Homo-oligomer: A and B are copies of this chain.
Amino acid sequence: MDSLMNLISTFDLASGRIAGGALEERHLSDLRGRFVDSAAYEQALQAGDALVYTVCGVERPPSEGQLNLALGRLFPGKIGDEYFMTKGHFHAWRPAAEVYLGLAGEGCLLLESEDGRAAQLVPLRTNAAVYVPGNTAHRTVNTGAVPLVYLGVYPAQAGHDYAAIAERNFRHVVVEQTGRPVMLPREQP
């Protein structure tokens, strides 16, 4: 059996670290082309390449039945009216679902079907789980004033496909309107 150290994963909500996991950082410059207001994006980037989010994962060998963990910490902010968000991805192994658990802060998951037609904006809260079904693109959005911290649990075989979503982008955006987050089609008719 694995040692105790390999079986316990303690999260530090402030640093976004899971004991034993590697912390990856995503800055504003890593999110080029994702935000709808590109003038606001360039302006924000000139002011400094802000840290937008971190991900710290504990990964197992990708064999059947194993599970991975990822602790996400997404900072508050906006580009124009659009909230700070993660790149978002599909799972490379499309049937893989993911369970997200809110640990701190206030935010949402933007979910889209493979063809981008069906979409849901799902609140991500403390003491609640959000189910991301298989075959679904998912992006986390911070709609609050403090870091949004959350844990994802997913099959170790899932893998990440960032390319599919980088190519077509999400078809919906999450923006602030009269002080509240709303989901709108990216292309305005």
Using a CB–CB distance below 8 Å, which chain A residues touch chain B? 1-2, 4, 6-13, 58, 60, 63-67, 69, 91, 93-99, 101, 103, 111, 113, 118-120, 122-123, 125, 127-134, 136, 151, 153-155, 158
Using A66-B134, A134-B65 as known contacts, say yes or no to A128 and B97 having CB atoms under 8 A apart: no
The residue in chain B whose Cβ has the minimal distance to the Cβ of A2 is B133
B contact residues around A4 at 8 Å (CB): 120, 122
- CA gap between A132 and B113 in the complex, in Å: 32
Chain A facing B: main interface SS: strand
Task: Please give the count of copies of this chain that the complex contains.
Answer: 2
Q: Could you list 7 further interchain pairs (A-B, Cβ under 8 angstroms) beyond the known A2-B131, A12-B127, A60-B131?
A: A7-B120, A8-B130, A11-B128, A65-B97, A67-B154, A69-B129, A129-B153
The answer on a CB contact under 8 Å between A66 and B97 is yes
Q: How far is the CB of A8 from chain B (nearest CB, A)?
A: 6
- CA gap between A63 and B93 in the complex, in Å: 13
- CA gap between A60 and B95 in the complex, in Å: 13
- CA gap between A65 and B6 in the complex, in Å: 24
Using A2-B131, A66-B134, A134-B66 as known contacts, say yes or no to A7 and B111 having CB atoms under 8 A apart: yes
13 CB contacts below 8 A, A to B, read A6-B131, A7-B122, A9-B129, A9-B131, A10-B125, A10-B128, A12-B127, A13-B127, A58-B129, A63-B95, A65-B158, A101-B101, A103-B127
